Amino acid sequence: MTTLAPRVPSRFLPVLATVALFVLAFGVGSARYDGFASGQVIANLFIDNAFLIVLAAGMTFVILSGGIDLSVGSVVALSTMVTASGLQAGWPVPLVVVAVLLIGSTLGLLMGLVIHKFDIQPFIVTLAGMFLARGLCFVISVESVSIKDRTFRDVATAAIELPGGVTITYNVVIALLVVAAAMYVLHRTRFGRTVYAVGGSESSALLMGLPTTRVKVGVYVISGLCSSLAGLLFSLYMLSGYGLHAVGMELDAIAAVVIGGTLLAGGVGYVLGGLAGVLVLGTIQTLISFQGTLSSWWTKIVIGVLLLVFIAVQRTMVRR
């Protein structure tokens, strides 16, 4: 390692490694299976994982600030439940959307305030949030509630035609807009800069006079908002609300963010890394379903191995 030259790319190296992995996985799929290398398969990656992309974007904020949010999966479930039962009760769609987003961000705000004001570990507070949100689902209803609202179904099934005969859903558009917004906030605003500073060293950030309170609480509000939005996307995808939706999705989101090169210690990472991580996870799932002979539980094992490889690589990079 001579001169400063390797330092600039080393910042982007983890993200590039993830993108390379995605290309590699996709290349392997295209070489082995007919019909894998089509635009629609790529589009389906986005369609099937739109909610996860949004979750990963929110999770990136929290992890960058040095925290963790275990409640996201449950908030997704709660959002589907509120959406489904709200629509069943005859609420207009805009009201449902606003209510869901409000609930999600309020939960995030409460967790953030408890974490910051009382100095309790984010892990345990968001664990409580996870229990609370899941429990609230069952307070609303223990059964699965299907969504029959016409407007909602129309949006869910509407296909947007792209050049080349590829179709995507509105979910994908929303997810990509969220990624763009997250990138803007994180990389182009003072708030985003402070998130990195707090993740790098909270006491230094405080001594520099940065508004750490606002950031430490803010990231959980953002994560809550993203989770509830992901919940709306998930309701569009599943067209039902159920308390057992999205069980363990928080782990997928964390895995995607970590595979995307974000350091769990905080301070290092990019929103695009999370997107790349989700695409890698999605490609693995697609590969396994194309293979046909492999059972679905291989997905879990492969994700675990990938997580391991990436954190081990991160570890050696940080040591250097």
Partner 1 sequence: MKNRLLWPLLALAALLLLNLIVTPSFFSLRMQDGALYGGLVDVLKNGAPTLLIALGMTLVIATRGIDLSVGAVAAIAGAVTCVHIGTSGSAGTAIAGMAIALVLCAVLGLWNGFLVAGLGIQPIIATLVLMTAGRGVAMLVTEGQIVTVNNTAYKQVGAGFLVLPISILISLLVLGLVAFVTRKTALGMLIEAVGVNPEASRLAGVRSRTIIWTVYVFAAVCAGIAGLMISSNVSAADANNAGLWIEMDAILAVVIGGTSLAGGRYSLTGTLLGALIIQTLTTTVYTIGVAPEVTLVFKAVVVIAVCLVQAPKARAALSFRKVAVPS
Size of residue set near partner 1 by CB under 8 A: 45
Q: How far apart are CA 175 and CA 20, in angstroms?
A: 22
Per DSSP (E only), the strands in 19-168 are: 145-146, 160-162, 166-168
Q: Is 199 in the site for partner 1 (CB under 8 A)?
A: no
CA distances from 294 to 290, 297, 313 (A): 9, 8, 28
What is the SS3 assignment for 87? helix
Q: Which is nearer to partner 1, 131 or 184 (CB)?
A: 131
Q: Is 156 in the site for partner 1 (CB under 8 A)?
A: no
Q: Which is nearer to partner 1, 195 or 263 (CB)?
A: 263
Neighbours of 131 (CB within 10 A): 13
Q: How far apart are CA 58 and CA 175, in angstroms?
A: 11
> Least separation, in Å, of the C-beta of 219 and partner 1?
17
Q: Is 12 in the site for partner 1 (CB under 8 A)?
A: no
Q: How far apart are CA 165 and CA 187, in angstroms?
A: 34
Q: Which is nearer to partner 1, 18 or 171 (CB)?
A: 18
> Token digits for 308?
């391991």
Q: Which residues pair with residue 166 across a beta bridge? A: 162
Q: Is 294 in the site for partner 1 (CB under 8 A)?
A: no
Burial (CB count <10 Å: 0-12, 13-18, 19+), residue 144: middle
Q: Select the span of 21-29, 45-53, 137-145, 224-232 touching partner 1 (CB under 8 A).
A: 137-145
Q: Is 127 in the site for partner 1 (CB under 8 A)?
A: yes
Q: How far apart are CA 174 and CA 93, in angstroms?
A: 16
* Cβ-based neighbours of 301, under 8 Å, separated by 6 or more: none
Q: Which is nearer to partner 1, 50 or 116 (CB)?
A: 116
Q: Which is nearer to partner 1, 33 or 298 (CB)?
A: 298
> Token digits for 65?
């600030």
Q: Which is nearer to partner 1, 53 or 125 (CB)?
A: 125
Q: Is 288 in the site for partner 1 (CB under 8 A)?
A: no
Q: Which is nearer to partner 1, 27 or 304 (CB)?
A: 304
Q: Select the span of 96-104, 126-134, 160-168, 219-227 touching partner 1 (CB under 8 A).
A: 126-134
Q: How far apart are CA 148 and CA 127, in angstroms?
A: 33
> Token digits for 136?
């609230």
Burial (CB count <10 Å: 0-12, 13-18, 19+), residue 176: middle
Q: Is 304 in the site for partner 1 (CB under 8 A)?
A: yes
Q: How far apart are CA 214 and CA 197, in angstroms?
A: 13
Q: Is 98 in the site for partner 1 (CB under 8 A)?
A: no
> Least separation, in Å, of the C-beta of 66 and partner 1?
11
Q: Is 113 in the site for partner 1 (CB under 8 A)?
A: no
Q: Is 307 in the site for partner 1 (CB under 8 A)?
A: yes
Q: Which is nearer to partner 1, 166 or 311 (CB)?
A: 311
> Least separation, in Å, of the C-beta of 166 and partner 1?
32
Per DSSP (E only), the strands in the chain are: 145-146, 160-162, 166-168, 240-241
Q: Is 268 in the site for partner 1 (CB under 8 A)?
A: no
Q: Select the span of 118-126, 145-153, 163-171, 179-187 touching partner 1 (CB under 8 A).
A: 118-126
- Residues forming contacts to partner 1 in the complex (CB under 8 A) are 68, 114, 117-121, 123-125, 127-132, 134-139, 142, 243, 251, 254-255, 258, 264-265, 295, 297-301, 303-305, 307-308, 311-312, 315, 319
